[in-house]
Chain A
Amino acid sequence: MYIYDAFDRRLLAERVADFRDQVARRLSGELSEEEFKPLRLMNGVYLQLHAYMLRIAIPYGTLSTLQLRKLAEIARKYDRGYGHFTTRQNIQFHWIKLAELPDAMAELASVGMHGMQTSGNNVRNITTDQWAGVAPDEIEDPRIWAELIRQHVTLHPEFSFMPRKFKIAVGGSHHDRAALRIHDMALRLYRNAAGETGFEVMVGGGLGRTPYLAQTIKPFLPRRDVLSYVEAVLRTYNQFGRRDNIWKARIKILVHDLGAEAFAKEVEAEWQSIKDGALVLEPAMVADIAGRFRYPDYETLDDSPPELVAARRRDRGFDTWVNTCVTTHKTPGYAIVTLSLKPEGGTPGDCTAGQMDKLADLADHYSFGEVRVGHEQNLALPHVAQRDLPALWRELDAIGLARTNVNLISDIISCPGLDYCSLANARSIPIAQEITRRFHDLDRQRNLGRLHINISGCINACGHHHVGHIGILGVEKNGEEFYQVTLGGKADENATLGTLIGPAVPYAQVADVVEDIAAAYLDLRDKPGELFIDTVKRVGIEPFRERVYAAR
């Protein structure tokens, strides 16, 4: 993980002092709420239905146990004893008092954490593959590049008041686990035919009211040019992105209106004038950042040690957990363990302070003191020796974090919805909870296989419903909550937007509709191994539509 140096620590301290001053001016009335709003947003502070909400960045989803314990402390001291992991590698606290925010931020800064640019019209927290540095199919650790970009755009003098928010993702593997094509800008690291590594650059992706997948505007960007090219894209967007209509202000609209080719041309002209200037990344600069990412001192071990093989044979529950929650690590003898934050009837992504503390202890003991946060709102222990898996499983089970529903129908991605959010039109969490109750039988879930449900409580699409295998979007009709259902979306390297199956259904019928879709899939799949998403692709949505609306 990235270790802050004196520069990083000092900037953070200065940022906290700045915010403390802004809060004092707001509390004294010197700043109006309208003037204060963009300032607090730049620090991750929202005003929600019941209270202020603080969103804290978890860069690249990587947390040290020191940081995790601090989050637990913040949850206890300033909030109601829990935090909520979001779909963008952030954690949110929903019940913080404005006057206490500067102190909470100072405490976070003491462990190298912050809420800078987790909201507002600037470049947001850069996201990557949650398995960066441990994935077997990785070409290079994308976090080094994400960190270079993060620093470059932090308190950027030119790009802190853009038309809208700007989300960047960086991928470093063949398999896309960072949902690259739904980002405003994405960089995919790969090796070209000449054997050099560089980046495919995509722009203009995004969900919300007008969903688009990002288009490639630069097939191969050399490593030295990453910062200058990002600068050229942002400069083009900052000047020409629309500011007259909030729904048309994202870069996707500019790219769509100009056409990707014309947009690329505009960027290229700007880039040519700056590419050989102060932003050239010298190898020593990249090496300096790379040198501050620390990797565990792995032992030399073999895959599938006898302890693991014997335990799997002995205990069916353990074997199921290994099959569902344990993934291959790039170092022999190690594994990546995913921890489901999706208990039956629970709120997706919620984690109590007690769980955080206990998990920190387990990570210290079993995972070199490191925890990961993924966009699916689950956590992972990224460096577990395979021989330790049986012991870890028992300990996780004791704190309710060994649930074997990872990637199954009850592993639901959901935004907070109308229960918390002032933008929402409809509730999300109770829909997720009801679905997990309907499908509480894990054998039934396993029979359905890999199936992702994404729920958003409004068109802003924080639950990424467009790219859910089953997407559920809450809308308001005559003062009542209705839900649109889409099928066939996905956010991987073959990203696709889901297709609407028909008219919206009322709140009380959503879980029934999901049951109908699941039943239709079981009838339609050509063999038990055909995944839901593949069946939808093969047969289209029509047979699902018929099944869902026949009785309605």
Chain B
Amino acid sequence: MPLVENGQIVQDRYHYLGNDEPIPERVPVIVSVERFRADADGLIRRDGSLGVLWPNDRRIAELAPWLGHLALVALQFPKFRDGRAYSQARLLRETYGFRGTLRATGDVLRDQFHFLIRAGFDSFEVKKATDASAFAQAASRYSVVYQPSADGRVPALRKRVQRPDTADAAE
């Protein structure tokens, strides 16, 4: 499954740690929510980047106290059509101010890229290789947005008021 970051297909630095696997030092790991909850303090003290795979049916607010210690949060799309993690992503970015890596995992396809980027994701485990190589093109498909979101793009509503001439300049 190719990983896309900064618009490029990259090697994954992180290792998904099994629940019974011993914890390696210095290797960046992603742990399950069960493992994280069982030993959050120990995991945080370890030397090495820490990520958590957070389920989409669990309130993201639970993670808020730990965010300062996390380098990565991975959110899940069990199915393309299950969009709960979009809300979790925006809450992490906009309400809780998470600045680490936000990774989309699961059924991640080309036609979600626009929404995922706007919701604050910056790391994508893409299901199909063809979709991963089309990332840049799919990501730049829309030059106009209608709503403020985690990507900070200025929506049309505000652009119209800020500079009344931009509407015509957009042609």
**A residues at B contact (CB < 8 Å):** 5-11, 14-15, 17-18, 22, 30, 35, 38-39, 121, 148, 151-162, 235, 238-239, 243, 273-274, 277-279, 282, 284-285, 288-289
Contacts and interface: CB of A to CB of B under 8 A. Distances in A.
A279 B167 CA distance: 20
A279 B156 CA distance: 13
B8 interface: no
21 contacts: A6-B167, A7-B144, A10-B143, A10-B170, A10-B171, A11-B142, A14-B141, A18-B141, A22-B111, A152-B157, A155-B142, A158-B87, A160-B86, A161-B83, A235-B90, A238-B83, A238-B86, A239-B59, A285-B157, A288-B157, A288-B161
B87 to A, nearest CB: 5
Given A152-B157, A160-B86, 16 more contacts: A14-B143, A18-B142, A38-B80, A151-B146, A152-B147, A155-B114, A155-B146, A158-B83, A158-B90, A158-B149, A239-B84, A239-B87, A243-B82, A282-B161, A285-B157, A288-B161
Given A7-B156, A238-B84, A239-B84, A157 B149 contact: yes
B160 A161 contact: no
B14 interface: no
A277 B149 CA distance: 11
Contacts of A15: 142
Contacts of A8: 156
Contacts of B142: 11, 14-15, 18, 155
A288 B84 contact: no
Interface in B132-171: 141-151, 156-161, 167-171
A305 to B, nearest CB: 41
B44 interface: no
Nearest to B144: A11
A288 B144 CA distance: 17
A548 to B, nearest CB: 43
B86 A158 contact: yes
B127 to A, nearest CB: 10
A157 B86 contact: yes
Range for the number of chain B residues in contact with chain A: 35 or more
User: Which of A39, A161, A162 has the largest count of B CB atoms less than 10 A from its CB?
Assistant: A161
A450 B142 CA distance: 49
B81 A238 contact: no
Given A161-B81, A161-B86, A156 B147 contact: yes
A285 B156 CA distance: 10
A278 B142 CA distance: 21
A35 B148 contact: no
B168 A6 contact: yes
A155 B153 CA distance: 14
Contacts of B81: 38, 121, 161
Nearest to A287: B161
B130 A11 contact: no
A5 B87 contact: no
Contacts of A22: 111
B95 interface: yes
A161 B82 contact: yes
B73 interface: no
A273 B95 contact: yes
Interface of B: 59, 80-84, 86-88, 90, 94-95, 109, 111, 114-119, 130, 141-151, 156-161, 167-171
Contacts of B167: 5-7
Contact of B130 (A9, A30, A285): A30
User: Which of A39, A158, A284 has the largest count of B CB atoms less than 10 A from its CB?
Assistant: A158
B83 A159 contact: yes
Contacts of A239: 59, 84, 87-88
Contacts of B169: 6
Nearest to A160: B115
Nearest to B141: A18
Contacts of B86: 157-161, 238
User: Which of A7, A121, A152 has the largest count of B CB atoms less than 10 A from its CB?
Assistant: A7
Given A157-B114, A157-B119, A284-B161, A162 B83 contact: yes
A157 B170 contact: no
A284 B160 CA distance: 9
A151 B87 CA distance: 19
A159 B146 CA distance: 13
Contacts of A289: 157
A235 B87 contact: yes
B21 to A, nearest CB: 31
Nearest to A235: B87
Contacts of A121: 81, 83
Contacts of A6: 167-171
A238 B87 contact: yes
Shortest Cβ-Cβ A-B pairs, 9 listed: A161-B83, A157-B118, A278-B148, A6-B170, A7-B156, A11-B144, A158-B86, A151-B146, A5-B167
Contacts of A18: 141-142
Contacts of A156: 146-147
A273 B90 CA distance: 13
Contacts of B159: 7
Contacts of B151: 157
B149 to A, nearest CB: 5
Contacts of B118: 157
Nearest to B95: A273
A132 to B, nearest CB: 21
Given A14-B141, A14-B142, A160 B87 contact: no
Contacts of A153: 146-147
Contacts of A14: 141-144
A289 B167 CA distance: 13
A149 to B, nearest CB: 10
Contacts of A10: 143-144, 170-171
A319 B151 CA distance: 61
B121 to A, nearest CB: 10
Nearest to B162: A284
Contacts of B145: 155
A18 B126 CA distance: 19
B146 A154 contact: yes
B91 to A, nearest CB: 8
A157 B167 CA distance: 22
A371 to B, nearest CB: 26
Contacts of A158: 83, 86-87, 90, 115, 119, 149
